[in-house]
Structure 1
Amino acid sequence: MSVSSADHGDRRTVTVVVAIQAAISLGYFSAMAHLVVHLKEDLGAATGLIGLVLSLRNLVQHTLSLPVGALVDVLDPARAGTLACLLRAAGFALLGAVSSPSGLVVAAVLLGTGGALFHPAAQSLLAGVAERRRARGYAAYTMTLQAMAVLGPAVGLALLNIGYWLVALTAAGLWILAACLFPLVRNGPRVPSEDGAAAGVRTALRNRFFMWFVAVSMPTMLLTDQASVVVPLGGAEPRAVTLFTCVLATVSAAVQPWCAAGTRAERFGVLRAGLLCAGGGYLLLAAGAGDRLAGLVAAAVLHGIAGGLLQPAVFQTVVRLAPSAHYGTHLGVRAFFSGLLAFAGGIAVSRLFEYGPRGATMAMTALAVAACASAAVTRCLSSREADAGRRAPVS
């Protein structure tokens, strides 16, 4: 394949993946931004059931990420992505049609299974393009996500006036549209994984420095997921939740171009700064700042900065550390461990909220402590990378 045709293929891959991101993110955020309110107000679900549904989706998604990420390396990411979108479409359709705990659990499982397939498939396609396009491609990918995270809750709020069933049905339709876009990706030559999926998992688990990075970055998923959960659980009305979500996403989208440019996101100082901002956001909420508009906006800004820094920092570092034949496997291994922590942490946070304001304060304080502790440990990564014989990043 000539350089020009390879470059054209990379451009097409990035364009299609970004278009897919726009469709699925609009559907996801329009439905998920108002899910807690739907479960709490429309269905009268207990806080424990709400936490179970949200955390079960995370558990299924990220537990399956390890085997699914490995399979993406030996199969076709475009086909895996198509299947992922269809599964999530079914999950969102079911979410708007059922009211029983068992139905909600099935919907959560479908959403989690679809997510387990989608993320390694889409990100493996981006990881496989030429390095000079990868950073810009991932920046466009994450900026599109954040832009839809701003638009999605507003679209969902407008549709919510008719009923959550319409919000969920719209989300399902957008995921079906994304399923139709995946076949348009024109895959370039793939580096074969000669020993199969299991060998890729063993390679990742035996990479000591990579596993140290996984351990240090594990809380990032819990911290970013719970930011949009604790505000509605704390009793905020739908308009306040929408404001918080939109401000958070707007700030993240503004930070993404700076962070994703070049090799900046590979610096462990960026990961540390993101963790500290997340910790600061939870401390503000724990102090009661969310009861006032200015405090809620300030917390959203800190969480937005955190998301804008953490997402590209984790992706670019995983891609840098992973062999080219095992991108999906390494993404899956990292998501697997992060998902387990996000599941356990999500259940714990929801249970603490059942004890009223004191429990809510304890939950958000614990999240802030976890963020700051992980930020402190990131200082060990540079020295460990040097010991492992790798290029030491600038931090």
Structure 2
Amino acid sequence: MKAIRLLLVNSFLMNVSFFAFIPFLSAYITGSLALSAGIAGLVLMIRQLTQQGTSFLSGILGDRFDYRLMISTGMVLRGAGFLLFAICTTPLELIAAAIITGLGGSLFEPTSKAALSIFTPPAKRGDVFALDKIVRHSGIICAGILGGVLLQLDFFYSSLVCGGIFIFSGVITFMNLPNEKVAVPKQSLADSWEKVKSDRLFIFFTISMIGFWFMFMQLYLTIPLHAAKVFNSPTFVSSLFIVYGVIVVFLQYPLQKWTRRFQRLSVIKMGMSIMGAGILLIGISNSILLFWAGFCIYAIGIMLVEPTSYEYTAEIAPPQFSASYFGFSLLAMAVGGGISQGAGGWMYEHMPQVNWLVGAIAGISSALCIHVLQAWNKRASSRRKYSVR
């Protein structure tokens, strides 16, 4: 329980820091530095691709070596990247800071999820992943308040405070996460690669999640930019994330209990479809009522998909390959999130309505892919039953 509590505290602090910093980074780049939305999108895309693009390797290393070392090193590196943004003024300097920030996330993200999965009894994983999401979004509520305060100050203080939180969390993790970590045999890098590569259904599941992450990452760039434009107030962004956090804190656990009556893939499919509808409503909104309706629908879709997808990954991953599976699954975030923030920034600048339509299509496409995966799983299960007979 000590390890689970520590990992949940980490989730809270990481989200306070991340959401008090990243959503406001695009406003800083386009405002204080007077660079284009395309540059802001490029910086966020590179951060995303660096983080999720290398997470599979980080997950393999986590399974081979030390979860505690990987998590704490990654958090310190993320903090250093945030601090660097304070002194970066040119696109190349911003990209360098984004790469360092992304590498830090690559080290701690898959290993944190794997450690949470390993330390939790299988029957309780769904509840713990739901609790983790509630804790993380409690952090988002605090981040909205902190970000709103820091927005009134020089950007240097945002970098200092948010980077300091990550460095502090990394030190605390290294000192307190139990040394025992994972009571399963350590695997070689080749074994981890071969195991994941041979699991074709899991690879297809990862591909199916690309559309979800395309929609999700709009939360960091185009949705805040659209909200600030529609309501003519950059400070509206902080209230956006406060509302998002409140929705998750109060609805995540009841939703998680309700979805237990359905198959996990059905819940994921439903959530992707709902997200697509929500993002389309956000895009066409020109009034506060329509915007909030779309945003709440979008948030409910995220709550259905995200913890359920983690639970599904934990269920199908052999314990000794847990971090490798979680790391590979984050490639979907690398591809979907990278396209979302790179192309999304460009589309928002040049043809904004197309951006929202593409988001809705991404949700429908991913839901259809999950439907196909369900059919494949059903056929595979039938063949196994037939062979047993």
TM-score by length of 1: 0.90
Distance (Å, rounded) in 1 between the aligned partners of 2:301 and 2:383: 25
In the other structure, the counterpart of 1:30 is: 20
In the other structure, the counterpart of 2:244 is: 248
| 1:69-97 per-position Cα deviation (integer Å, ceiling 9, x unaligned) | 11111111111011001110001111122
CA change 1:88–1:246 in 2 (3 A) is same
In the other structure, the counterpart of 1:375 is: 367
Distance (Å, rounded) in 1 between the aligned partners of 2:221 and 2:139: 18
Match of 1:156 among 139, 147, 156: 147
Distance (Å, rounded) in 1 between the aligned partners of 2:129 and 2:189: 25
- Measured after TM superposition, the shift of residue 254 of structure 1 is 2.7
| 1:220-257 per-position Cα deviation (integer Å, ceiling 9, x unaligned) | 22211112311233353322222222222222233321
| 1:139-176 per-position Cα deviation (integer Å, ceiling 9, x unaligned) | 22211111111220221111221211111111011101
CA contact 2:126–2:308 (8 Å) conserved in 1 = no
* Structure 1 stretch displaced more, 83-92 or 121-130: 121-130
In the other structure, the counterpart of 2:294 is: 299
Number of residue pairs the alignment of both structures matches: 376
CA contact 1:250–1:304 (8 Å) conserved in 2 = no
- Measured after TM superposition, the shift of residue 260 of structure 1 is 4.2
CA change 1:285–1:160 in 2 (3 A) is same
CA contact 1:228–1:245 (8 Å) conserved in 2 = no
* Structure 1 stretch displaced more, 52-61 or 206-215: 206-215
SS of structure 2 residue aligned to 1:109: helix
| 1:272-327 per-position Cα deviation (integer Å, ceiling 9, x unaligned) | 1211121112111222x1x3211221122112112211111110111111111101
Distance (Å, rounded) in 2 between the aligned partners of 1:189 and 1:232: 40
* Structure 1 stretch displaced more, 128-137 or 62-71: 128-137
Distance (Å, rounded) in 2 between the aligned partners of 1:198 and 1:300: 43
- Measured after TM superposition, the shift of residue 188 of structure 1 is 4.4
Match of 1:88 among 54, 78, 90: 78
- Measured after TM superposition, the shift of residue 352 of structure 1 is 1.4
In the other structure, the counterpart of 2:316 is: 321
1:104-123 correspondence to structure 2 within 5 Å: 104-123=94-113
Match of 1:128 among 91, 94, 118: 118
In the other structure, the counterpart of 1:224 is: 216
CA change 1:389–1:59 in 2 (3 A) is same
- Measured after TM superposition, the shift of residue 181 of structure 1 is 2.2
- In percent, how many aligned pairs have the same letter? 21
| 1:338-375 per-position Cα deviation (integer Å, ceiling 9, x unaligned) | 312321232211111221xxx10001111111101211
- Measured after TM superposition, the shift of residue 189 of structure 1 is 4.5
- Measured after TM superposition, the shift of residue 383 of structure 1 is 2.1
The alignment yields a C-alpha RMSD, in angstroms, of 2.0
- Measured after TM superposition, the shift of residue 218 of structure 1 is 2.0
Distance (Å, rounded) in 1 between the aligned partners of 2:79 and 2:137: 20
- Measured after TM superposition, the shift of residue 127 of structure 1 is 0.9
In the other structure, the counterpart of 1:170 is: 161
CA contact 2:115–2:182 (8 Å) conserved in 1 = no
Match of 2:186 among 180, 193, 200: 193
CA contact 1:136–1:260 (8 Å) conserved in 2 = yes
Paired letter, 1:221? W
CA change 1:262–1:283 in 2 (3 A) is closer
List structure 1 segments (4+ residues) > 4 angstroms apart after TM superposition.
Answer: 259-263
Distance (Å, rounded) in 1 between the aligned partners of 2:130 and 2:362: 27
Distance (Å, rounded) in 2 between the aligned partners of 1:60 and 1:336: 10
Gaps of 5+ in 2: 385-389
Distance (Å, rounded) in 2 between the aligned partners of 1:263 and 1:168: 39
CA contact 1:18–1:144 (8 Å) conserved in 2 = yes
In the other structure, the counterpart of 2:387 is: none
